Amino acid sequence: MLKKIVLFLVIGLAVGLAIGLYLYNKPHDTAADIEIFEEISAHDLYAKFSMDQKNALATYLNKNLLVTGNLESFVQDSSGTKWTLSTQSDDLGVVTVTFAEPLNQKPTLNQSVKVQGLCAGFLEGDELLGGEIQLNQAVVAQ
Amino acid sequence: MKKIILSIALLASVSATQAQKYFTRNGHLGFFSKTNMEDIKANNESVTYIVDWTSGEIQISALQTNFKFEKALMQEHYNENYVESTKFPKATFKGKIENVNAINIKKDGTYTANVSGSLEIHGVSKNYTTKATFKVSGGHVVAETKFNVKCADHNIKIEANLKNNISESIEITAKADLTELKK
């Protein structure tokens, strides 16, 4: 009987340790791992945040969005890959997309692109700089 | 004729004033906690910095969920338990370069200046003053500073069982490569 109790305890401890280790070392989720919440254009997404930021945050924060927009600029360096999508808004607001993994191929500017990314929120600009919606852990949508 | 010259001069001065704003959307903010038990660091490379060289006003904004930790679990705890990023998604700093006139953005060189202002984290604002360097080179200005923030000052509570793992005083580093903002 004692042997059985000790065996259960050892197995329980081992399972607990394994779960703990898995959780501690679990990888960061990317947009590819999560179900798409909504497909939307960069223009429409920006319009929603500009009109009612509070409501848009409640709807989209941390959600996986499939966004289409024109590629305005990109950064590809040691810190990773980041694309800036035009929203065609009057205040020159943008959607910036930070990729989960650096991309090898350089994209073509001013072309329509489709990306999946987790919505991190909205940063207001000022009278010269438009606002910015940030998507992260992104992947290029197929 | 005088009125025309005056109008042109006024227009020129207005456009010169507007040209004094520099910015980046790819600025860096990082924090570092050091204890005997462990070191914890996180970086955010998508921070917006706007500096107005005419008034000296400086504005920094960062989204909390964009701070990247080595471990996904740490990142989850940071957002859910400490800064409550669903409730308070942004960290912002609004302040002023005190001796902005000492910085000549038209002349390459390294300048130091005191920056003071209000930092809002976790919905709580506190005033800070720090020394920053501004390196002017070829039309770019690289701004850099480092200062410490106490978790308790921003109502960020650390559980008793984690007091040995998370430092009460967190080192903040800020760095931005600023270029002229043109509309």
| CATH number where A91 lies | 2.40.50.140
Residue B176: pLDDT band with limits 50, 70, 90: very high
B45 part of a folded domain = yes
B13 part of a folded domain = no
B11 part of a folded domain = no
Residue B17: pLDDT band with limits 50, 70, 90: very low
Closest residue, chain A, to B18 (C-alpha): A128
Query: Is the separation of the CB atoms in A121 and B47 below 8 Å?
Result: no
Helix, coil or strand: residue A30:
coil
A84 part of a folded domain = yes
Whether pLDDT at B73 is above 60: yes
Whether pLDDT at B106 is above 60: yes
**A67-108 pLDDT, tens per residue?**
999 999 999 888 789 999 999 888 889 999 999 999 988 899
Residue B12: pLDDT band with limits 50, 70, 90: very low
B162 part of a folded domain = yes
B5 part of a folded domain = no
- Domain containing B136 — which CATH number? 2.40.128.110
CA distance A87 to chain B (A): 15
A4 part of a folded domain = no
A111 part of a folded domain = yes
CA dist B48 and B161 (Å) reads: 35
- pLDDT at res. B3: 60
A3 part of a folded domain = no
CA dist B119 and B29 (Å) reads: 13
B54 part of a folded domain = yes
A87 part of a folded domain = yes
Tell me whether residues A128 and B18 touch, CB distance under 8 A: yes
Whether pLDDT at A45 is above 60: yes
Domain boundaries, position A125: 31-140
Specify the DSSP element, H or E, that contains A35.
none
Whether pLDDT at B13 is above 60: no
A57 part of a folded domain = yes
Total structural domains within chain A? 1
Tell me whether residues A26 and B73 touch, CB distance under 8 A: yes
Domain boundaries, position B162: 20-180
CA neighbor of A121 nearest in space, from A55, A44, A60, A45: A60
Which of B45, B61, B63 is the closest to A120 by Cβ? B63
Among B20, B23, B66, B75, most A C-beta atoms within 10 A, so best to mutate, is B66
Which of chain B's residues have a Cβ under 8 Å away from the Cβ of A28?
Answer: 68, 72, 75
Total structural domains within chain B? 1
Tell me whether residues B23 and A129 touch, CB distance under 8 A: yes
* Phi, then psi, of B62 in degrees rounded to 5: -140, 145
